Amino acid sequence: MTVHRGAEAAPTNGAGQALVRLAGVQKHYGNLHVLKDIDLDVARGEVVVVIGPSGAGKSTLCRAINRLETIDEGEILLDGEPLPAEGKGLARLRADVGMVFQSFNLFAHKTVLENVTLGPIKVRKKSKAEAETRAKELLERVGVAHQAAKYPAQLSGGQQQRVAIARALAMDPKVMLFDEPTSALDPEMIKEVLDVMVDLAERGMTMIVVTHEMGFARTAANRVVFMADGAIVESADPETFFTNPESDRAKDFLGKILKH
């Protein structure tokens, strides 16, 4: 199966300029060097899947892109703009970056609909009616429209994660970050979430996805980035990466996970 990218995927503006650019990014946790000299460019409309063993720094990388993690050195550019350190500027930039967490993190005290409309109303200053119309569209799209009045705790994990995707999409983000979006799900719920993500990729959304779902990487990714021990070891299109990995580290990793 291949993904047919929509017309909106065409990299029109910013001629050749990366939508997300990480240059020389370093991060330490005490003595642990969690991000080692990371250089990564993600083009508009590109779907980049980040894989690698646990503790490789994949999640940290993902979280650094909207500064949920700070970095020690290097720079991160979003649409050509450097990430501000804090304050209003950072908040404004974060609004343009959708984030989907491993543990969903839906607002527990708000209904599904309120979860999706909160950002558009409070951050984008949309009217309640406008936000709700859009939210219902998005909930329809991810297949949980009939749950709109429920609270997150009343939903299954897969449903919660799809709501989380709708919540991120409601901000009309330029790029979506997925931090192991299916790792906390039962096997049968993984598919419903991946289907939504594949649909998103087909519509031309720029996506950076940290995942262990190799099937998704093969299906939807334009590029696979393999990380180990805080560094990017290899970066290739999925076909090349899965059939003919260059590094021993990647061969070892694939050998372990693809055997079963």
Cα of first residue to Cα of last residue in the chain, in angstroms, is 21
Q: Smaller CB distance to other proteins: residue 9 or 19?
A: 19
42 pairs with which residues across the strands? 20
Among 94, 126, 162, 223, interactor with other proteins by CB under 8 A: 94
Cβ atoms of residues 206 and 176 within 8 Å: yes
In the complex, the smallest distance separating the C-beta of residue 245 from other proteins, rounded to whole angstroms, is: 33
Q: Smaller CB distance to other proteins: residue 184 or 236?
A: 184
When asked if residue 97 is in the footprint of other proteins (CB under 8 A), the reply is yes
Cβ atoms of residues 111 and 148 within 8 Å: yes
Q: Smaller CB distance to other proteins: residue 89 or 255?
A: 89
When asked if residue 105 is in the footprint of other proteins (CB under 8 A), the reply is yes
Among 23, 118, 145, 231, interactor with other proteins by CB under 8 A: 118
- Collect all residues with Cβ–Cβ distance below 8 Å to 81 and sequence separation of at least 6: 93
CA distance 60 to 56: 9
Cβ atoms of residues 195 and 144 within 8 Å: no
Q: Smaller CB distance to other proteins: residue 207 or 250?
A: 207
**Residues near other proteins, by CB under 8 A:** 66, 68, 86-88, 91-99, 101, 103-109, 118-119, 122-123, 151-153, 164, 167-168, 171
